[in-house]
Amino acid sequence: MTVHHLNELLLISSLVLLIAVAAVRLSSRSGLPSLLVYLGIGVAMGQDGIGVSFDSAELTQTFGYAALVVILAEGGLGTKWREIRPALPIAAVLSTAGVAVSVGVTALAAHYLVGLDWRPALIIGAVVSSTDAAAVFSVLRRVPLPSRLNGVLEAESGFNDAPVVIMVVAFSTAGPIESWYVLLGKIVLELAIGATIGIAIGWLGSYGLRRVALPASGLYPIAVMAIAVTAYAGGALAHGSGFLAVYVASLILGNAKLPHWPATRGFAEGLGWLAQIGMFVLLGLLVTPHELADDIVPALVVGLVLTMVARPLSVLVSTTPFGVRWQEKALLSWAGLRGAVPIIFATIPMVTQVEGSLRIFNIVFLLVIVYTLVQGPTLPWVAGRLRLGGEGAEDLGIESAPLERLQGHLLSVSIPESSRIHGVEVNELRLPPGAAVTLVVREDRSFVPAPSTMLRRGDELLVVATDPVRDATERRLRAVARGGKLAGWLGAGGSE
């Protein structure tokens, strides 16, 4: 590649990114899932559009794996432990036993209703049984659902990629398909290795970042993402699940109260968008639209069975021991969103040259397009009909910067519109001894507050806290944000 080629590549890439960024605005206003817009950009650039020739399934798979690592890291960093902790048992069963049920039912439909041989039928069943992390993280955070359901869906989408990719690889390997107990043992072992490595790297990374003051705030986001990618690579090289390792490590990092956290979240979110755009555009380039016509009906049939039978049955089997209400089961069934991940996994049999792999890819591609278009925009309506609205005030944004020589922390607190800190006086915050509000920024004006200064929505606060009371200060601020000035006295949470 010459400098001239590089200039052309940079121009095309920047134009595609700008179009994709504009498409996010369009999709958010129209309710159309952004992944469909990105896929459309890739298709428009491909052989049946502008004429860009691209047919490398191996490169698509490699880039897709790398993008999925970034997406899972961003999802884990943004997932609140307090929300998914009660949901972990349900999510764990959904992402293992639930996936097994879904694979079996979908494979039966692909074999008996569509006429596929057992190997491609099992591959399709495994490929489409994983909910997509990118779709779930982007759609659910715009839908006001109860925290328990959000926790189940986010944790499930973070966990179920691991067992699914193991099954797809096993079904795509030449020779006889392994016995179910051998496959089950392999899945359990790889999940255990991935979870162990993810926990170890996440804990070590968060421990180090909380105790080392880096010379520039911009280094913290880079360090966090590097730790997350290290977890994936370490898990994969140890013959474990790298996808589970990166999600677990990112979950630990995201709940460790690291310094300059809003900047880190913004950086990770930007990388996540970039990964999604690149992944979807590349997948769009790989598909050839004029070859899809013969697989439209099979995709509709398999997708209908997956959406209306396999997913609800897997939810029913997985949630029955936990006393989940029927409304919640219905929503969990409808919120099994698919996206780029199934299409990426559909490249695995293409790379291993499984017979009929191109048809598998086309069926999965069409299924994802049609049913994402149906499920994504209708999810808010379904939640409303089931009367499953979200609850609680908007979370308080707190950024921490370590003051190493002073053995303290400077907390930057943003008061959102729905926060119950609005109308609370500074002295009514009742911060622990060793913490104080030192500055208030309000409407481009900054001042040192008095104890009787009333805080308002939109204020930016600077709070100085010593090391021993740093965590207690943040807990107290979040408690007041949720429960108002009487938080703690009336059971609204927070320590006194």
Residue-wise pLDDT for 392-425, tens only, equals: 445 566 666 666 656 678 888 888 877 888 889 9
Residue 447 lies in a domain: yes
In a domain, 390, yes or no: no
Supply the DSSP string of 404-415, one letter for each residue: TTTTEEEEEEE-
Q: Give CB contacts under 8 A, 24+ apart, made by 196-200.
A: 196/240, 197/231, 197/234, 197/235, 197/238, 197/240, 197/245, 197/249, 198/231, 198/235, 198/244, 198/245, 198/246, 198/247, 198/248, 198/249, 198/252, 199/248, 199/249, 199/252
Are 299 and 199 in a shared domain?
Answer: yes
Residues 45 and 189 in one domain: yes
Structural domain range at position 445: 397-483
CA atoms within 13 A on the CB side of 138: 27
**Do 107 and 150 fall within a single domain?**
yes
Residue 458 lies in a domain: yes
Residues 416, 268 within the same domain: no
- Residue-level pLDDT at 494: 44
pLDDT digits over 293-344, tens only? 889 999 999 999 999 999 999 999 999 888 888 988 998 898 888 877 888 8
272 falls within a domain: yes
CA angle 177, 183, 185 (to 5 degrees): 155
**138 and 209 assigned to the same domain:** yes
Query: 262 or 134: whose pLDDT is higher?
Result: 262
Q: Tokens 């989408």 identify what position?
A: 157
Look at residue 393 in the predicted model and tell me its pLDDT: 45
Domain contains 126: yes
Within a domain: 496: no
Give the 3-state secondary structure of residue 420: coil
Q: What would the pLDDT profile of 203-213 be if each residue is shown by its tens digit?
A: 999 999 888 87
> Are 359 and 453 within one domain?
no
pLDDT grade, residue 41 (50/70/90)? confident
Q: What is the DSSP letter of 379?
A: H
Residues 438, 337 share a domain? no
CATH of the domain at 337: 1.20.1530.20
β-pair partners for 409: 402, 465
What pLDDT sits at residue 134?
66
Judge if 291 and 381 occupy the same domain: yes
Examine the domain organization and report whether 329 and 457 are in the same domain: no
Between 244 and 16, the more confident residue is 244
Within its chain, how far is the Cα of 166 from the centroid? 20
pTM reported for the whole predicted model: 0.76
* Co-location of 351 and 410 in the same domain: no
485: which DSSP letter? T
Whether residues 138 and 250 share a domain: the answer is yes
Q: Is residue 490 part of a domain?
A: no
**How confident is the model at residue 104, as a pLDDT?**
93
User: Would you say 391 and 147 are in contact if contact means Cβ atoms under 8 Å apart?
Assistant: yes
Same-domain check for residues 51 and 86: yes
User: Is 366 within the bounds of a domain?
Assistant: yes
- Specify whether the CB–CB gap between 133 and 75 falls below 8 A: yes
Q: Per the structure, how many domains does the chain have?
A: 3
Locus of tokens 């079904």? 171
Boundary (domain end) residue, out of 385, 405, 426: 385
- CATH no. for residue 412? 3.30.70.1450
